Amino acid sequence: HNPYGIDRNPCGSSSGSGAAASANFSTVYLGTETDGSVVCPANANGVVGLKPTVGLTSRAGVVPISHTQDTVGVHARTVADAAATLSVIQSRTSDGRDAATGGVPLGWQGTGKTR
């Protein structure tokens, strides 16, 4: 259920992560997204949802629906917590267990530039 109202839909397959973040059970949660499963629960539950570009985070251990769209994302109460979590999970991508991350160097930290 949505923590703001049991009659409200928590939205998406990663709705448990979104609802738990909203209820403040923990600081951050991981979820997987093919088409809205991270961003929809974030919107419905009033938390931050971060869906990385496919290949930025490893999908090792994830049962994919789509090899071209699935990615591991973050639910958090704050943007800072979501960004810190993404920094940790994306820095451990190229471990050989997920072909989508083969071109991302292990420990890659991005350009450090914002647009």
Q: DSSP letters of 60-79?
A: TT---S-TTT-EEEEEESSH
Confidence of residue 53 (pLDDT cuts 50, 70, 90): confident
Whether residue 10 is contained in a domain is answered as no
Residue numbers of the domain that contains 48: 15-93
- Judge whether 104 lies within some domain: no
Establish if 102 belongs to a structural domain: no
Total tally of structural domains belonging to the chain: 1
Please spell the DSSP secondary structure of 20-59, one letter per residue.
Answer: HHHTTSSSEEEEEESSSTTHHHHHHHTSEEE-PPTTSS--
φ and ψ at 50, to 5 degrees?
A: -120, 115
Task: Confirm whether 107 is domain-assigned.
Answer: no
More confident residue, 96 or 50: 50
Q: In the structure, what pLDDT confidence band is assigned to residue 16 with cuts at 50, 70 and 90?
A: confident
The reply to whether 70 falls in a domain is yes
> What does the buried/exposed string (b/e) look like for 80-108 if buried means 16 or more CB atoms within 10 Å of the residue's CB?
ebbeebbeebbbebbeeebebbeebeeee
Query: pLDDT for 57-115, tens place per residue?
Result: 888 888 888 888 889 999 999 999 999 999 888 866 566 677 666 665 555 555 554 44
